[in-house]
Amino acid sequence: MGVRVSLIQPSDGLCYKWARKRTKRMPLGLAYIAAALEQADHQVSVTDAALDDLSIEDTVDQALACDPLFVGITCTTPLYHQAVAIVERIKRLAPRSVVILGGPHVSALPKATLETSQADFVCIGEGEETILQIIECVLTGRPPSQVVGVAYNWNGWQGETVTRRRRVSERRETHSQPVDLNRCPVPARHLFRYQEYTDGARDVEGVQTSAMFSRGCPGKCSFCGAADTIVRWRDIANVLDELEMIEKQLHIGNVFVNDDTYTSNKKRVLALSRGIVDRGIKLKIGVQLRLDQVDAEICDALFASGVNYVGPGIESGNEQIIRQIGKGPKESKAHMLEKMRLLQRYDWRVRASFVMGMPGETEEQIMETIDFARELRADENAFSILVPYPDSPLWHTAKQLGKVNDHMDFSKFLYYHAIGCNLSAVPTERLLELHEFAYEYVGNPAYRFDDDAVSSGNRPHIPYLASEAFRRHREAIGEKHETSYVYDNDDKLRASR
Ligand code: B12
Ligand code: SF4
C-alpha cells in the first residue's frame, strides 16, 4: 500500500498581472510526477493554485486536507519565493511531512534552495524516478545518497547526488541515465481538473491540454534553460496512443505541444504527422518551432495533421544581437523573413516571439526588433524582456558581472512587466516603456480584444507613446499611427482612437 502524496503548483498570477484573459495550462511536469506516483500505487492529490489563483494559506490548506506524508512542489524562478512561503507554512502546520521541491529553478540552484527554504529534498532535473526513490528512502530510513538526482537536508543527512540532466557539452560519466520516456506513464490528467485548462489569451475554443513528445533542445540560445540539452524522443506509436486518449477518452479538442522545438528532426516530424492523419486523430495542435528547421514539406505535413498554431522564435531584428543570442550561423533577418512568409501561406496562427534586453543591447537595436516585428506581420507577437534565468548560459555571464547571486530575490524574474536583472544598455524604466511600446505599436492583429498586449496585458501608463522620440520614430519610418495619446486629468496617458 502506498503513501499519501500531495502535489502543488503555486499560483502564477504575478506573471500575468495585467492580462485580461489568462493562459491556464496544466502543469505538465507535475502531471508526469503524479502519473509515476500513481503507477507505484501511491495516493496522489493535486492542488493547482494557478488555476484558482489561490493564496498561500488556501494553497496549503487544500494541499494538507488529505493529511499527506509527502508534499511535492514545482516552481519556476519567479515563483520560488511563493514555494518558500508554502514550505514554511507546511512545516508549521504539518511538521512531520516531508517536503520535496522540483522544477527548473530548484534544479539549477539545489544547494541554495536547501539554504533558503525548509525543504527536505530538492529533485534535480527529471523527477519521475527520483520521487519514488526519495519515498522509498524515507520509508526505509536509508541515507539519500543512493537516490539519483537529489540534494537533501533530511534526518541529519546532507548532500547532493549525480543528476540525470546532461548538457551536450558535458561528459557522460558525470551523469546518470535520463528517464526512459517510453516507459514513463502518460501525464495523469485525470488527477487535475483537466476540463478547465484553456488558453484564453489566444482565443482557444474549448479545453486545451499540454503534452510533450520530446525533451531537450540542441539550440544554444544564451537566454534559455533548455539550451544545449540532449534531445530524446518518445516513440511515435507511444505519442499517438496518448493523442488518441486525449481525443477519444478525455474528449479534449486542443493540444499544446510543450516540446522546445517540434521540428528538430525532420524525418520524425514527417512520420509523426503522417501517423496523426493515418489514425484519424482530429485535434487542433499548437507547436513551437525553429525557422531554420522548417520547409514547405514540413509545413504541409504539420498543417495536414491538424496544427493550427505555430510559434517560431524570431528574438531580434538586429543581426549583431541575433548572433549574440546564438541562434546559429544560418540565422539572419533575411532568412527569417523568408521563412515567416512560408509559414504565412498556411491557414494557421503564427505567434512570433521576440526578446529585448540582451547584454549591452541599445535602444536603437531594440527599435530594430520592434520594426522587424511590424514588418513580419505575425498574428500574435510576444515580446519578452530578457531574464538571465539560473539554468541559462546568461546566468553565468550575469554572475560574473556581479548582477545576480544564488540567494537573491527572484520575484521579479519575469518576461513581461518586471525586470529582475537588467543587462542591457537601456535604463530599466525605459526598457519597460519600450516593451509596452512594442505591444502597442506592433499589436496582435489576429485577436479581437481591445487590448493589444495579449500575453502581458497593457500597463495603463505608456509615456513613450506621447514622447518626442516616438513621434520622430514614426516620422522616420514614414508611418502615421492610427492611435493618438493624451494625458487625462489624473495625468495618466490614454489612447484616443
Ligand atoms: C509550456 C511552458 C510554459 C507554459 C505552461 C507552463 C505550465 N504550467 O506548464 C506557459 C506559457 C504558461 C509558461 C509560463 C511561464 N514560463 Co514557461 N515553459 C514552458 C516549457 C516550454 C515547457 C514546460 C514543460 O511542460 N516541461 C516539461 C516537463 C516534463 O518538465 P518540467 O516541468 O521541468 O518537470 C520535470 C522536472 O522539472 C521535475 N519536476 C518538476 N516539478 C517537480 C516537482 C516535484 C515534487 C518533483 C519531485 C519533480 C519535479 O520532474 C518533471 C518531470 O520530469 C518550458 C521549457 C521546458 N523545456 O521545460 C518553459 C519554462 C519552464 N518557462 C519558463 C518561464 C520563465 C516561464 C514564465 C516565468 C514566463 C513569464 N510569464 O514570465 C512563466 C511562469 C509560469 C509558471 N507557472 O511558473 C522557463 C523557466 C526557467 C526557470 N529557471 O524558472 C522555462 C524552463 C523556459 C526556459 N527555457 O527558459 N511556460
Ligand atoms: S530558445 Fe528555443 S531553440 Fe533556443 S535553445 Fe531554447 S528551446 Fe532551443
Q: What is the pLDDT of residues 85-135, one digit of tens each?
A: 999 999 999 999 999 999 999 999 999 999 999 999 999 999 999 999 999
Top-confidence residue, 271 or 412: 271
Query: What are the helix (H) ranges across 27-68?
Result: 28-39, 49-52, 56-64
| Confidence label for 23 from pLDDT (cuts 50, 70 and 90) | confident
Task: Give the CATH number for residue 314.
Answer: 3.80.30.20
Model pLDDT, residue 172: 63
Report the C-alpha gap between 255 and 253 in whole angstroms. Answer: 7
Report the C-alpha gap between 391 and 242 in whole angstroms. Answer: 30
Model pLDDT, residue 492: 47
pTM, to two decimals: 0.92
Nearest-CA residue for ligand 1 atom 32 is: 29
pLDDT in tens, 4-18: 999 999 998 777 655
Inform me whether the pLDDT recorded for 44 exceeds 70.
Answer: yes
Is residue 237 located within the same domain as residue 284? yes
State how far the alpha carbon of 68 is from the alpha carbons of 20, 45, 55, in Å: 35, 9, 20
Task: Give the CATH number for residue 43.
Answer: 3.40.50.2300
Model pLDDT, residue 479: 52
| Confidence label for 462 from pLDDT (cuts 50, 70 and 90) | very low
Residue 224 lies in a domain: yes
Q: How far, in Å, from the CA of 139 to the mean position of ligand 1?
A: 29
Is residue 342 located within the same domain as residue 447? yes
State how far the alpha carbon of 419 is from the alpha carbons of 11, 38, 197, 414, 423, in Å: 19, 39, 28, 7, 10
Task: Report whether residue 261 contacts ligand 2, using a CB cutoff of 6 Å.
Answer: yes
Residue 485 lies in a domain: no
Report the C-alpha gap between 30 and 189 in whole angstroms. Answer: 10
The domain in which residue 468 lies consists of: 198-477
Report the C-alpha gap between 137 and 155 in whole angstroms. Answer: 11
Model pLDDT, residue 71: 98
Mean pLDDT of 301-307: 97
Q: Of the residues 182, 208, 223, which one is the last residue of a structural domain?
A: 182
Nearest-CA residue for ligand 2 atom 3 is: 219
Local structure of residue 230 (DSSP, 8 states): P
Report the C-alpha gap between 451 and 109 in whole angstroms. Answer: 37
Is residue 48 located within the same domain as residue 172? yes
Look at the chain and count its residues.
497
Model pLDDT, residue 173: 59
Contact 339, 300 (CB under 8 A): no
Q: Which helix (H) or strand (E) holds 99?
A: strand 98-102
Report the C-alpha gap between 430 and 470 in whole angstroms. Answer: 13
Model pLDDT, residue 34: 98
- Tell me which residue has cell 495550462: 25
Inform me whether the pLDDT recorded for 283 exceeds 70.
Answer: yes
Give me the number of domains the chain comprises. Answer: 2
Task: Report whether residue 394 contacts ligand 2, using a CB cutoff of 6 Å.
Answer: no
Q: Which helix (H) or strand (E) holds 211?
A: strand 208-211
Ligand nearest to the CA of 389: 1
pLDDT in tens, 311-366: 999 999 999 999 999 987 778 999 999 999 999 999 999 999 999 999 999 999 99
| Confidence label for 3 from pLDDT (cuts 50, 70 and 90) | very high
pLDDT in tens, 50-86: 998 899 999 999 999 999 999 999 999 999 999 999 9
**Residue among 6, 12, 16, 28 to mutate when testing ligand 1 (max atoms within 8 A of CB):** 28
Residue 193 lies in a domain: no
Per DSSP (E only), the strands in 375-452 are 380-385
Top-confidence residue, 266 or 452: 266
